[in-house]
A and B are shown apart, each in its own frame.
Chain A
Amino acid sequence: MPTVELLLSPQPHHVRTARLVGVAAARRAGLPDELVDELRWALGEACSRAVALHAAHAPDVPVRVVLRDDPTGLVVEVVDVGPEGLPVDDTDPAALFDGESVDPRVSLAVLGGLVDDMEVLPGPGGTTVRLRWPLPARVSGLS
């Protein structure tokens, strides 16, 4: 059952809000400090990607962020309405940065490098990026 859920209108400053909430929730769940920092970077990247996609495709629709603590660990989901992006392959890296905009695939590549357990789940209305961190001995939960 989701324990923390955020709906962010797709504005750049809310990405920071999401990072702060994510760090607080991760600490409360008992994630070790080093992984809390990893979560901060990964959640920030995932939200940047989602906010950019919404700003381009659905500026009136909020980005959904869910943090929950389940038997598999601490799960973070960022749900967007954008088209699925595939991880970067062997293409010229500079080509993915066209002018000032960044190909959303770059975000997924960064996430894949930062987080060991990442899934990109395409759905009918968009994409869910699911990130997961194992929790140490389960003394307390998010709730």
Chain B
Amino acid sequence: MDLSLENRTEGDRTVVEVGGEIDVYTAPKLREKLIDLVSAGNYHLVVDMEAVEFLDSTGLGVLVGGLKRVRAHEGSLRLVCTQERILKIFRITGLTKVFPIHASVAEAVAATD
């Protein structure tokens, strides 16, 4: 399955729903999406990964890149993920210390810490 990207606004947050496979081939599309959103002034992003079917380290790199971009504007990038395999990859790479990871979009949108 290819990568699907949809975004919507919830309060002051921009929710990006990501579906399909984030790999070395599709990661540039996700990178462009995050760059476009930040360029348009969306600095508080919630990336919903519940429909992601594959994620490699290239995809991790794009998410870290997105985090650096929003932080340059004092923004935030939160992840929504309950899939154990993806959570494991974030733990292995130490990125659970870098990204706030939430169990639902509602929880991520409400989070203020």
Contact = CB atoms under 8 A, between A and B. Distances in A.
Interface of A: 12-13, 15-16, 19, 37, 40-41, 44-45, 48-49, 51-52, 88, 92-94, 96-97, 99-102, 106-107, 109-110, 112-114
Contact of A106 (B21, B24, B57): B57
A107 B57 contact: yes
Contact of B56 (A45, A93, A97, A101): A45
Given A15-B23, A16-B23, A44-B54, A109 B60 contact: no
Interface in B1-40: 21, 23-25, 31
Contact of A15 (B25, B31, B60, B61): B25
B87 to A, nearest CB: 11
Given A97-B60, A97-B61, A106 B25 contact: no
Interface string B55-78: 011101110110000000000000
Interface of B: 21, 23-25, 31, 54, 56-58, 60-62, 64-65, 85, 88-89, 91-95, 97-98
B60 A102 contact: yes
A100 B61 contact: yes
Main secondary structure of the interface of B (DSSP, over half): helix
Given A44-B56, A100-B31, A12 B62 contact: no
Given A16-B25, A41-B54, A110-B57, A100 B62 contact: yes
B88 A113 contact: yes
A44 B94 contact: no
Q: Give me the 8 closest cross-chain CB pairs, A-B, nearest first.
A: A93-B94, A113-B92, A102-B61, A12-B25, A97-B64, A48-B24, A12-B24, A48-B56
Which interface residue of A92, A97, A99 has the most chain B CB atoms within 10 A? A97
